[in-house]
Structure 1
């Protein structure tokens, strides 16, 4: 008899409500949850198609060991654990714990237990080589927040329900559904702004799906820093700033004013492609709007100045009086004793350590994934010798995947925890089968403070794990036991003192607790928690489980909280840290390389999710193909025909794929979706073809953004040419 189970999607950040139909222990289908208070019966194609991932015949369901011939054979968990443990111990004995490394991909952020136990293992083992998808996505945002507010995770989100003007830079939420912002039904929210007389302005080199639906302000690729600095120059020069907000909220405005003085619209036009009159008008419209929200995402993160751009977005909000106010940029509050607690107790931070290659600062404990290959191949103390990956496919996501793929063969041990034999872990010694999000309990640990409507939801597992799949935290815990690591054991004493009175040791586990126990403690001690009975209407896991569709915590995000958010001494935002002033001073005049006159940008697709959902027949139907968007003017000049293969070359590599001629990209801009070009153990994905666009990108130290270690994936100089 089929049963229906309430859960929620964990593919992207809206976390839309889902109803799972289960029969005989197997998932039959997924559909949107009409009773979810925020998504209200809405879900995207990827959420519905996850049923195919759950039941995929290509999914890894048993531990696999790579043989000498390169093929995989099934082994038992004990065989895998024992051999991994012995080999890992040999690596530690020979090279020290500095030789251990971990790379975790985007899906790990959607599993509280996975994220917690990677951190627990890293802390307990003293691991230095920690890498994540963040250096290809969002680490610059964290560093900008650290410089501005003294907190890596103090991230303003746009108050969509109360704003009159939404100014978006490098974001396409009609396809991404929102990022570093949890807003189910975001299309409806954006249309509501216009319906109540407001405006949505989209700054993007491409006339994206969101830009087509609203107002589009085209910009040259990687011109964001010049645009924002120029808008600030206009506001300061014309006296259009909010002096009361600046005085109350910040320090350093005079130094920032001086630093942007040279960025007049006339001077920046060569970088932005935006006429001076249009730029001045936009700056004035921001200053005079009753309530304006400023938001930037992936397109702003992956150019050469990602941290500067994220910083200037918030600076622009503050000087126009739109930070920490209704309808502007607002700061949500974590429901858990979580990331803020981890920062205050020293478990995570910024620039506490430096990478061996490139001397890059750590961000939340992790280093740039772009240096991972060189950390493997470069001899010396601290060389990476044993690597774990989980929920990640860095060969397709970091620059120059061929370099990384070759480097992986030099490791003494490579272990992957994943759902598939993907393009990276096909080189692994072991692939250990992980559960899907439907096979574990969950709670959206990192996303509560990013929700435009404060909300919380918990879910139990929908089905028991298929085959021999295990939760990532269980696998990590078992490996830790094999080498004598106790997760969290190196936690500062004051943290240990808090935890020791609240959690129990679990028999047979190397850890002091399980994720379920730990998350209940974190919830009960969090902003909305019941304080173990001291707050009668507070939250605990029992209450959440009794409300499976979730609980709306407030109608709107609170404002007037900046003094709580800012951790700098004095409680004020710092508008002129040395790192930002120095970066502004270093911005020079535009010098195009005549050998590579065009600029390449990325492109997100509605039915793709990074590099791991191309094995769904539902998502791939309709003869989907990997193509590059090319302006007809550029195509004619290069002799390229619509639908025909052509070559894109950079200073670092070249790829060939079919052209799709369209004026949605301006002349001089090429747009290519990422995440294609599969060569793993997934049949549909392999048959889809395509190429890895990141083969055009550089891992040279000088090409990595220095403040946050961001890969340079947007605005890359290229040329195009026909192929026979």
Structure 2
């Protein structure tokens, strides 16, 4: 008998509503949910194609163990977990928690239970080697928020419903559907701005799908910091700044004013590639608009100065009077006390400790994934010896994948929790099968403060786990049981003597024995407690899990965001505009090198509508079509200069590596720029993805600590100097 079950997508931050058709606990189909209050019958192709992933014959459904020949054999959960626990305990006893690491990919952010129990393990073992896909994505946004507001989680979102002018830098929400802002019908929201007489201005080296619909400012790759400083220069020099807002909301504006004074549009023209008059007019338009919002995403994050760019975007909103103001950039309210608990637990940290390699500050408890291989190979105290990878594929997503793949073989233990045998975990000792998001309950915890309309959504599991798949939290919990440790209970606090590992684990076993006699702590229990302790604002009944269950399509918590919250989200109620590390970064910006004759073009990334990082290229629905191929977008003039033609295989070389891709001639990229999508070049255990071919564009990027973005340790994936020639 077929049934219809309501759920929501957990591929990106839009979280569109879905309806699943299920028969005999098997998923037959996914379709948009017309009753979802925000997405209202919309979802993108990736959400529908999740049915392919759910039913994929290549999916891992049983625990796998590597054999002596390098193949995998199926084993039982008890065999796998017993051996993993024994080997992990040996590493812990010999070298301590500082020698154990965990890498988690983007899907982790869309599973509250995964994140919660991973944090429990980190606290229990005292892990320091924690890495995430954030260092190839968004970490510098959290650094900028820490420097500006004193809180990493204070991230303003554009007030799409009321703004008169939206300035987007390096964002393509028509394809990505928005990130660090949750607005399921983003394309419709953007069109509504222009329909009411407003403007949408897209700053990007490529005429993206979003830029093609609105106004396009074709900045040079990695020129965003110079452009933003020039906009501030004009606003200050022409007396266009909102001095009342500056006095009320900030400290240290004189340092920013002095810094911007050196960056006139004429001075920065060679960096931005823009006419000075165009930059001046944009600055005037921003300052004089009835309201204006500034928004940036990965295109603005992945250059050499991504933290500075995020910092300057918020500063631009502030000095034009548009920060914490309706129609500008607003701060959402999380109905869960995540920020409060995160601060107390030390999770929302910045620069609490430094990596051994490169001396990079931690960001939300994580270090740059680009140094992971070097942390495995560099001997000494704290050397990375055992690694877990969950919902991630760093061999494809981190620069210099071959370096990491080689280093993984030197670990004492490598364990993966995933849906597939991918390019990373094909090197693992064990691959443990995890549930898809259709097989677990969930709340979009990480996005609750980023909705443009206050909203919360709980979903039950749509189908039972296929095969022997288990949710990540349960795998972690079972592993802790076997090791005699308790999630969230720091082992080192139980063992303050000179032999913390042995004494601590003995104490942990005693605590575990007590825990087994008590009702099992589960993520749902924690979630219900957090809901009851949270705040939803005036006039809204307190949330409970039972109440959310009564609203399967989600629950709207307000009509829109409001201003006047800066006093709650910024320490001391003011924005700091003169952080010393930002002033140091400005000095590095002034010393940045110019054009490189050996590598005359600049590479930027590219997100495709039917790709999602590196894990959805095995879905036939997304990979069908004659033109579904990997390629390099290049301007016809640059192609002629390089001697390459449409469809011709090309060699793309940087100072760090080279790849081969076919040329796709188009004027959507400005001269001097090439664009190549990431996430391709599969060589794992997935049939369709391997057959698709393509190349791993991150082979052109560097893992040298001197080449990483300084303040956040971000991999530099935009603005890479390259040379193109016929293959």
- TM-score tier by shorter-chain length is over 0.9
Q: Which residue of structure 2 aligns with residue 486 of structure 1?
A: 486
Q: Distance in 1 between matches of 2:99 and 2:273?
A: 47
Q: Deviations over 1:52-97 (max 9, x none)?
A: 1000000000000011111100000000001101111111122222
Q: 1:600 aligns with which of 587, 603, 625?
A: 603
Equivalent residues in 2 for 1:519-534, closer than 5 Å: 519-528=527-536
Change (3 A) 1:393 1:510: farther
Q: Which residue of structure 2 aligns with residue 668 of structure 1?
A: 672
Tell me the CA shift for residue 260 of structure 1: 1.5
Q: Deviations over 1:460-509 (max 9, x none)?
A: 0011100000000000111122223211113999xxxxxxxxxx999649
Q: Distance in 2 between matches of 1:109 and 1:38?
A: 21
Tell me the CA shift for residue 370 of structure 1: 0.2
User: Does 1:615 pair with 2:618?
Assistant: yes
User: Does 1:403 pair with 2:403?
Assistant: yes
Q: Distance in 2 between matches of 1:400 and 1:291?
A: 44
Q: Which residue of structure 2 aligns with residue 355 of structure 1?
A: 355
Q: Which residue of structure 1 aligns with residue 649 of structure 2?
A: 645
DSSP 3-state at the match of 2:222: coil
Q: Deviations over 1:390-445 (max 9, x none)?
A: 00000110111111011111111000000000110000000000000010000011
Q: 1:547 aligns with which of 551, 571, 574?
A: 551
Unaligned runs of 5+ in 2: 494-511
TM-score by length of 1: 0.96
Contact 2:453–2:558 (CA under 8 A) maintained in structure 1 = yes
Q: 1:517 aligns with which of 501, 518, 525?
A: 525
Q: Deviations over 1:688-710 (max 9, x none)?
A: 00010000100001011121111
Equivalent residues in 2 for 1:222-621, closer than 5 Å: 222-490=222-490, 508=516, 513-528=521-536, 537-567=541-571, 570-587=572-589, 588=591, 590-621=593-624
Q: Deviations over 1:594-624 (max 9, x none)?
A: 1111100000000000000000111000031
Q: Aligned residue pairs: how many?
A: 707
Q: Distance in 2 between matches of 1:15 and 1:363?
A: 25
Q: Distance in 2 between matches of 1:241 and 1:171?
A: 25
Q: Which residue of structure 2 aligns with residue 153 of structure 1?
A: 153
Q: Deviations over 1:347-398 (max 9, x none)?
A: 4311111001000000000000000000011111111000000000001101
Contact 1:523–1:529 (CA under 8 A) maintained in structure 2 = no
Q: Distance in 2 between matches of 1:492 and 1:224?
A: 45
DSSP 3-state at the match of 1:166: strand
Tell me the CA shift for residue 522 of structure 1: 0.8
Q: Which residue of structure 2 aligns with residue 165 of structure 1?
A: 165
Q: Distance in 2 between matches of 1:408 and 1:635?
A: 38
Q: Distance in 2 between matches of 1:344 and 1:87?
A: 32
Change (3 A) 1:507 1:466: farther
Tell me the CA shift for residue 339 of structure 1: 3.2
Q: Distance in 1 between matches of 2:452 and 2:541?
A: 22
Tell me the CA shift for residue 120 of structure 1: 1.1
Contact 2:153–2:348 (CA under 8 A) maintained in structure 1 = no
Tell me the CA shift for residue 511 of structure 1: 10
DSSP 3-state at the match of 1:450: coil
Q: Distance in 2 between matches of 1:62 and 1:529?
A: 45
Q: Distance in 2 between matches of 1:386 and 1:356?
A: 16
Q: Distance in 1 between matches of 2:213 and 2:160?
A: 16
DSSP 3-state at the match of 1:323: coil
Question: Aligned-residue CA RMSD in angstroms?
Answer: 1.7
Contact 1:477–1:511 (CA under 8 A) maintained in structure 2 = no
Q: Which residue of structure 2 aligns with residue 42 of structure 1?
A: 42
Contact 2:152–2:348 (CA under 8 A) maintained in structure 1 = no
Contact 1:222–1:714 (CA under 8 A) maintained in structure 2 = yes
DSSP 3-state at the match of 1:27: strand
Q: Which residue of structure 2 aligns with residue 500 of structure 1?
A: none
Q: Distance in 1 between matches of 2:94 and 2:548?
A: 48
Q: Distance in 1 between matches of 2:99 and 2:592?
A: 42
Q: Which residue of structure 2 aligns with residue 656 of structure 1?
A: 660
Q: Distance in 1 between matches of 2:520 and 2:360?
A: 33
Contact 2:485–2:491 (CA under 8 A) maintained in structure 1 = no
Contact 1:116–1:515 (CA under 8 A) maintained in structure 2 = yes
Change (3 A) 1:536 1:631: closer
Q: Distance in 1 between matches of 2:447 and 2:419?
A: 23
Contact 1:480–1:510 (CA under 8 A) maintained in structure 2 = no
Tell me the CA shift for residue 586 of structure 1: 2.1
Contact 1:33–1:41 (CA under 8 A) maintained in structure 2 = yes
Q: Deviations over 1:190-229 (max 9, x none)?
A: 0000000000000000000000010000000000000001
Contact 1:220–1:272 (CA under 8 A) maintained in structure 2 = yes
Q: Distance in 2 between matches of 1:207 and 1:682?
A: 33
Q: Distance in 2 between matches of 1:352 and 1:38?
A: 38
Contact 2:333–2:536 (CA under 8 A) maintained in structure 1 = no
Q: Which moved more, 1:334-343 or 1:232-241?
A: 334-343
User: Does 1:217 pair with 2:220?
Assistant: no
Q: Which moved more, 1:478-487 or 1:122-131?
A: 478-487
Q: Distance in 2 between matches of 1:173 and 1:264?
A: 30
Q: Which residue of structure 2 aligns with residue 131 of structure 1?
A: 131
Unaligned runs of 5+ in 1: 494-503
Equivalent residues in 2 for 1:13-162, closer than 5 Å: 13-162=13-162
Q: Distance in 1 between matches of 2:681 and 2:335?
A: 40
